[in-house]
Structure 1
Amino acid sequence: MSIVVSAPGKIHLLGEHAVVYGKSALLAAINRRLYIRIQEKKTERIEIKTGGRKKLVIHSIDIFKKAFSIKNLPPLEISITSQIPIGCGLGSSAAVSAATIGGLMKFVKNIWNPGKINELAYEAEKITHGNPSGADNTAVVFGGLLWYRREFDFLQSIWSLPISSYKIPQFLIIDTGRPQESTRQMVSHVAALYSKKKNRMEEVFSSQEVQTKRLLISLRNNNNEELKDAIYLGEKNLEKMEVVGDFAKEIIREIEKSGGVAKVCGAGGRNGGSGILLVFHENLTKVEEIGRKYNLSVSPVVLGEEGIRIENNPINK
């Protein structure tokens, strides 16, 4: 017997980092998925084949066992196939945690409860990232377009926005390379800034929430000029949070000069790459030219995809 569960990646349209401090964030699940297959084994141990994600899977298994008071799991093989790059701001760790926990819940307990999956995936994210907002796991579990705010550590406000009510234009992504820092380190860096310059950082976070609201309204009203301005100012705020490296800034400035806008997604990065850039530009050719100049791939991305799900057919990849 086997089961395959998949979870999407996610993109922060705006609000990352500020969301840790109680501000709103706008996120979307994307058309890149991670698949986890769980199947019975005849041996007496659990075998994990994850492509560099073994520690995340082990954390998720431990959280599942504790939540359901399970001392020992039956012999299993757990394998992962993923379209989501690691450490680039697309929610890879959240997808691993959610898919692992969801797969185990269904395979071992025959329970499918997205709310419970999200609760436990958040616990796994805390082990991995230290003080995450809970937005990433929420986006990959529930999918679609989400408005998210963490009220307290134990209470999150989540609004699922009907995608049909929002005119989602074509966005692009550019991978600037994996940051040298982990998400945990980037979250800690912003926390250190907040500790040293609380008033200034409060102003930045409040400004970011204003831009996040403007971005949502621009999507609803199909107003590309307001959308561009919200992303432009949102990126400036991210730079004030010191989560954008010099290489990413250089590319973003090129995109802005050509008439578009771009921002880092997720935790960002200060050294080396800064992960994924979310790009909006009416002229795809100009973005592709910039990509070629820096030898970086430019890819379209679909926002508002389905969240975690049980796959009807096993995958062969």
Structure 2
Amino acid sequence: MFEDCVVVSAPGKVILTGEHAVVYGKTALAASLSLRLFVNIQRTDVGQVTLDLKDFGTQKCWSCDELASNGFLEHSKSPRRPSPDEIKTLKKLCGMNSDKEVLTVEELAIITFLFLMLSICSDSSERFPSLSVEMKSQFPFAAGLGSSAAYSVCLSAGFLTFAKAVTPTSCKSNGGITLPVGVEALTTTSCYNESDLKLINMWALEGERLIHGNPSGIDNTICTYGGCMSYTKGDIMPLPRVPSLRILLIDTKVPRSTKRLVAGVRERYDKYPTIIGPVLDAIGNLSDKFRTLLYQLADGESDDESRDLKLSLFSELETLWDINQHLLQAIGVSHASINDICSITAKYGLYSKLTGGGGGGSVIALINQTVSDDDISLVQSSLTEKGYGSQEAILGGYGVLLHSV
């Protein structure tokens, strides 16, 4: 038996510090966003499966008979990778050539959907239930914000909940994070326990592998568990205490290839190891210091002396933020649009840096307590005039959640 309706959400993510240096064994810090991606799974009686990717303007539909007769796989008790032949079957179900190698973002999203649905929702009594699935995001895709990871996490959690393979429990609190616009219309009823989160994360990693090939695992882990985490040489460690930081999330509207940017840094490193190596070391050391400052900001009381100390600590964060951006620029992963955004925000006392691969994508600006809401509005107006998108967010909130309408 399956549930009649499941609505789940997962946060986007940003890399706070350590981009590119993490490839060379240095520490990187990542945090979840208050902005979320939603997946709504509704059981129907029309004998078909419908996927509506609203942010792409894309809809796909399959008959349940078509899915039941494809010979894809039986019910999977534990996460696993699809075989090459199964990937060809998934491509055929998407209406594409089974030998096609370079896929669009939409095609990858559809294949991931099919894989997770067919793997999790198959059983001996009702192999492919008739259902309608809708996806909607509060943050842009392909901008270095973990959209594919949030999507994979939502599909994994959604289908596992739909198939009653996990047992969500009542949420005790929201961790001090205000839920974003769009969530207020839903009643947040349930979180997932540790064993369920582990299973969701494992399935989501398989979805990420379909999309990215060989991901580090930090994106899907952040989107599953939320909060803030450090990543060093394959080890992902949650930060037990972090402050709730306000940021301005800025979209350059410039597409970029992370693979190309990583290759460019490697070329510079191989050519100038004694120059680029120390820069990467500096980025790693900066991440370690940044993590210490986050701990210090999260501690302490709310008296005047403590507030003054926190303002001083936040000023250090801003300095490191600025240094990190210049170090990333030195290894060749900034962009004219990123530099322009940094100049615009600096006029209003905001420190900005790229997040993710760079070369376009997204920029994040720290919002300190001394910046007024009027100044934030002026910054956003200036960014809009230059063709950039922007929205406020809070760092370090909830991971995957189950909602009821």
Q: Which TM-score tier does this pair reach, normalised by the shorter chain?
A: 0.7 to 0.9
1:46 shift after superposition: 2.1
**Equivalent position to 1:216, from 277, 291, 295:** 291
**Equivalent position to 2:111, from 58, 62, 65:** 58
The answer on whether the counterparts of 2:197 and 2:225 sit within 8 Å (CA) in structure 1 is yes
Distance 2:267 2:163 in 1: 42
Letter in structure 1 aligned against 2:381: R
Aligned to 1:82: 137
Distance 1:74 1:283 in 2: 52
Change (3 A) 1:258 1:106: closer
Distance 1:19 1:117 in 2: 25
Letter in structure 2 aligned against 1:211: L
1:44 shift after superposition: 3.6
Letter in structure 1 aligned against 2:319: D
1:136 aligns with 2:219: yes
Distance 2:5 2:273 in 1: 51
Aligned to 2:161: 106
1:117 aligns with 2:200: yes
1:110 shift after superposition: 2.1
Aligned to 1:161, the other structure's residue is in SS state coil
Aligned to 2:334: 244
Query: Which digits, 9 at most, give the CA deviation of each residue in 1:145-198, with x for residues without a partner?
Result: 2223342xxxx33224224xx4x4433222222x32244444444445455555
Query: Which digits, 9 at most, give the CA deviation of each residue in 1:273-294, with x for residues without a partner?
Result: 4323333454245554344334
Letter in structure 2 aligned against 1:208: I
Distance 1:191 1:2 in 2: 47
Distance 1:35 1:44 in 2: 24
Change (3 A) 1:22 1:46: farther
TM-score with structure 2 length normalisation?
0.66
1:45 shift after superposition: 3.4
Residue pairs, 1:186-265, within 5 angstroms: 186-198=261-273, 200-221=275-296, 222=310, 223-256=313-346, 258-265=348-355
Change (3 A) 1:262 1:41: same
1:298 shift after superposition: 4.5
1:278 aligns with 2:354: no
Change (3 A) 1:135 1:224: same
Higher deviation after alignment, 133-142 or 18-27 = 18-27
CA RMSD of aligned residues (A): 2.8
The answer on whether the counterparts of 1:87 and 1:183 sit within 8 Å (CA) in structure 2 is no
Distance 2:132 2:361 in 1: 34
The answer on whether the counterparts of 2:229 and 2:239 sit within 8 Å (CA) in structure 1 is yes
1:49 shift after superposition: 0.5
Aligned to 1:26: 29
Aligned to 1:157: 236
The answer on whether the counterparts of 1:214 and 1:226 sit within 8 Å (CA) in structure 2 is no
1:137 shift after superposition: 1.2
1:90 shift after superposition: 1.8
Distance 2:380 2:262 in 1: 28
Change (3 A) 1:124 1:169: closer
Letter in structure 1 aligned against 2:397: E
Letter in structure 1 aligned against 2:382: K
Letter in structure 1 aligned against 2:395: L
1:250 shift after superposition: 1.9
Number of residue-to-residue matches in the alignment: 302
Aligned to 1:97: 152
1:80 shift after superposition: 0.7
The answer on whether the counterparts of 1:118 and 1:137 sit within 8 Å (CA) in structure 2 is yes
Distance 1:279 1:157 in 2: 24
1:65 shift after superposition: 4.5
Change (3 A) 1:109 1:57: farther
Return 5+ residue gaps in structure 1 as ranges.
Answer: none
Query: Which of the pair has more CA radius of gyration?
Result: 2
**Equivalent position to 2:5, from 2, 5, 22:** 2
Change (3 A) 1:248 1:60: same
Letter in structure 1 aligned against 2:205: Y
Higher deviation after alignment, 72-81 or 137-146 = 72-81
Aligned to 2:395: 303
Distance 1:95 1:143 in 2: 11
